[in-house]
Structure 1
Amino acid sequence: MRVPSRSPGHQPGSAVASAAPARRLPPADGRRPGPEQPDLAAYRTAVAELLVEVGALADAPSTTARQVLLDQRLREPAIAAVLDATPQGFVGARETLLLEMARYQPNTRSSAQDLTALVRIYLLSRIDVMWWRDSPTFLTDGQVDTSTDLVDLEWLRRRGLLAFRYQEQPATVVGRGLRAVRRRLRPDATPRTAGLRFRRARREMIALLNDMGREFAAAARPGTPPLWVTSLARSAEHQYRLRRLGYAAMVPSGHCLGWAADVELAWYRRFGARDLLADLLLARQEVGEINVVDEGQAWHLCLAPTAQRRFRRAYEAEMGV
């Protein structure tokens, strides 16, 4: 069975990468950085230690102390190596984090329930943009809708080719009303999520999510619902829209590169499968297949470049293309 590269009626388009230069932290000894990749295990450990200190300074009067702490800790080699390898460079990443913290206002929509969560989400998601720094950004909604690098999920779902579930955002007032009625009648039937704004994804991401979905289904108890995906590719335009609504939508983002997804976690507690799914995700991170960010209700994941070819081949083999 051959799978179309885009939805019927769409015209191909291309994403455009930002041409803004990155400011980088110069090496202390004046030498150019070597070709080796940053140590991600050391980075995650250093971030975890930093989060403990940020949590201890969470009260409002500690703003200056937090800034001093971050200025010192972000320069530690394990953290600086990753930030310096992002498109923004060390200086840009540091300034963005400080600005995010200064603007932070807790709200029910945001996955960052406190400042510690905000710092965790921002720093761990920098691995995504470091990995895919040369990948073009989907700047507009139109680019996501028409890119030939993305595949329409609905076409695959109708043919039983997906091992995970999702729901789309209602496009009309009537649709939103019907969704609200269903939630009142059956509040726990589905995760409490807005749904996908774009039902399109890279082929490699589909193969990854299918593989994860099959693994989860095999390990979970009978009656556990399939893996539920809450977000996939997004445009930078939509990312800023989410920010205006109060969501912790980081910029730049792996979602806007097409290499990230969010999967529901909290909903699976009622099926006794939340910790199982978390362990499966962390095991894949441990072997270097994905990056994982705990965002509370949903967890964010990003495919590693080293796994791209394997999952592209898996997609082609599974779909017969």
Structure 2
Amino acid sequence: MRVPSRSPGQQPGPPVSPAAPARRRAPAVSLRRTPATEPDLDAYRAAVADLLVEIGALADASCIAARQVLVDQRLREPALAAVLDATPQGLVGARETLLLEMARYQPNERSSAGDLAALVRIYLLSRIDVMWWRDAPTYLTDKQVNGSPDLVDLEWLRRRDLLRFRYQEQPATLLGRGVRAVRRRVLPGATPRTAGLLFRRTRREVVALLNDIGREFAARTPAATPPLWVTSLVRSAEHQHRLRRLGYAAMVPSGHCLGWAVDVELEWFERFGVRDTLAELLLARQRAGEVNVVDEGQAWHLCLAPAARQRLRRAYEAEMGV
């Protein structure tokens, strides 16, 4: 059993800013030894669901000690321990982090964790991401995200009509924020209520995944339905901690900081009557082993599975003609 690691992880290489997407050889497969059999993710998700019921029954402030005992006992069960022990922190580190998150939890309007059970769900299900990509380098700073050659600029692709999804960037100036606020008052509901992307960059395989989902979503919904909407992509660990200070349920470590996670809007599509269609489409991809899905309320968190990486890399290169 591993003890908590204080290391921030391997850093990405020297920043280089490509002018346009280019054909790149996929990074070499890690030589790190892995278990002979991967953990049973269906059993893990079922065990998380059972734990959430018990957490909900102990939601009162007077039940702090009982919650700690419950978490300590349940996380040692084989279905949960198998995944947590395969993360960089190991079982002990994951347990301590979860207990600390629970002790610090304060509900607020910014957080996707509306209650304590939601916090536990988001944390535990997102550990699948970091188990899958435990050997991936962490993007520690904003500069590393903006300069990484492993990421492509979505704006370059959008201007060439190569994206089957939409996004909006965070306003960079006070004037921009004012214009955004006025637009929301004049046209409420015209776009999802989200801050927008700080980084409009992501991995090539994630672009292929989102394009694939976007096409399937468009095929299953009425013609007037807006396209798939992305609310978050790659984040630096630096930005992840900024979000935590603002009250968001931004977990660490995170698949966003490894470059393999993305958040897509769900709640906004309720007004078009297609939220459940999108939800089922995403869950079907999870059942197929292509992604990990975490229901975070307004937006759902997706993380690409390593098993789908090669297919999606080929799909990106074929679609982009590189």
Matched residues in 2 for 1:76 and 1:276: separation? 34
- Code of the residue aligned with 2:162 in structure 1: it is L
- Code of the residue aligned with 1:146 in structure 2: it is G
Contact 1:139 1:237 in 2 (8 A): yes
Q: Which residue of 2 aligns with 1:98?
A: 99
Q: Residue 149 in 1 paired to residue 150 in 2?
A: yes
Q: Give CA-to-partner distance per residue, 1:240-293, whole Å, 9 cap, x none.
A: 000000000000000000000000000000000000000000000001000000
Contact 1:58 1:115 in 2 (8 A): yes
Matched residues in 2 for 1:301 and 1:256: separation? 13
- Code of the residue aligned with 1:116 in structure 2: it is A
Q: Which residue of 1 aligns with 2:29?
A: none
**Aligned 1:71-220 pairs, distance under 5 A:** 71-220=72-221
Contact 2:142 2:238 in 1 (8 A): yes
Contact 2:141 2:236 in 1 (8 A): yes
Matched residues in 2 for 1:7 and 1:234: separation? 19
Judged with a 3 Å threshold, the aligned counterparts in structure 2 of structure 1 residues 315 and 58 are, in CA distance, closer, same or farther, namely same
**Considering only aligned residues, what root-mean-square deviation do their CA atoms show, in Å?**
1.3
Q: Which residue of 2 aligns with 1:316?
A: 317
Q: Which residue of 2 aligns with 1:253?
A: 254
- Code of the residue aligned with 2:198 in structure 1: it is R
Q: Give CA-to-partner distance per residue, 1:38-67, whole Å, 9 cap, x none.
A: 000000000000000001111100111111
Q: Which residue of 1 aligns with 2:43?
A: 42
- Code of the residue aligned with 1:153 in structure 2: it is L
Contact 1:233 1:258 in 2 (8 A): yes
Contact 1:6 1:150 in 2 (8 A): no
Q: Which residue of 1 aligns with 2:223?
A: 222
| Equivalent position SS for 1:111 | coil
Matched residues in 1 for 2:59 and 2:297: separation? 18
| Equivalent position SS for 2:289 | coil
TM-score by length of 1: 0.90
- Code of the residue aligned with 1:258 in structure 2: it is G
Matched residues in 2 for 1:152 and 1:234: separation? 14
Judged with a 3 Å threshold, the aligned counterparts in structure 2 of structure 1 residues 62 and 223 are, in CA distance, closer, same or farther, namely same
1:35 shift after superposition: 1.7
Q: Which residue of 1 aligns with 2:280?
A: 279
- Code of the residue aligned with 1:305 in structure 2: it is P
Q: Give CA-to-partner distance per residue, 1:85-141, whole Å, 9 cap, x none.
A: 000000000000000000000000000010000000000000000000000000000
| Equivalent position SS for 1:105 | coil
1:6 shift after superposition: 4.5
Q: Which residue of 2 aligns with 1:15?
A: none
| Equivalent position SS for 1:197 | coil
Structure 1 unaligned blocks of 5 or more: 10-31
Q: Which residue of 2 aligns with 1:305?
A: 306
Q: Give CA-to-partner distance per residue, 1:13-48, whole Å, 9 cap, x none.
A: xxxxxxxxxxxxxxxxxxx99421000000000000
Structure 2 unaligned blocks of 5 or more: 1-15, 21-32
- Identical counterparts, % of pairs: 78
Matched residues in 2 for 1:237 and 1:177: separation? 26
Matched residues in 1 for 2:44 and 2:255: separation? 18
Matched residues in 1 for 2:99 and 2:170: separation? 32
Matched residues in 1 for 2:171 and 2:46: separation? 40
1:7 shift after superposition: 5.3
Bigger drift between 283-292 and 32-41 goes to 32-41
TM-score by length of 2: 0.90
Judged with a 3 Å threshold, the aligned counterparts in structure 2 of structure 1 residues 155 and 33 are, in CA distance, closer, same or farther, namely closer
Matched residues in 2 for 1:277 and 1:33: separation? 34
1:8 shift after superposition: 3.7
Matched residues in 1 for 2:34 and 2:163: separation? 42
Q: Which residue of 2 aligns with 1:61?
A: 62
Count matched residues: 295
- Code of the residue aligned with 2:84 in structure 1: it is L
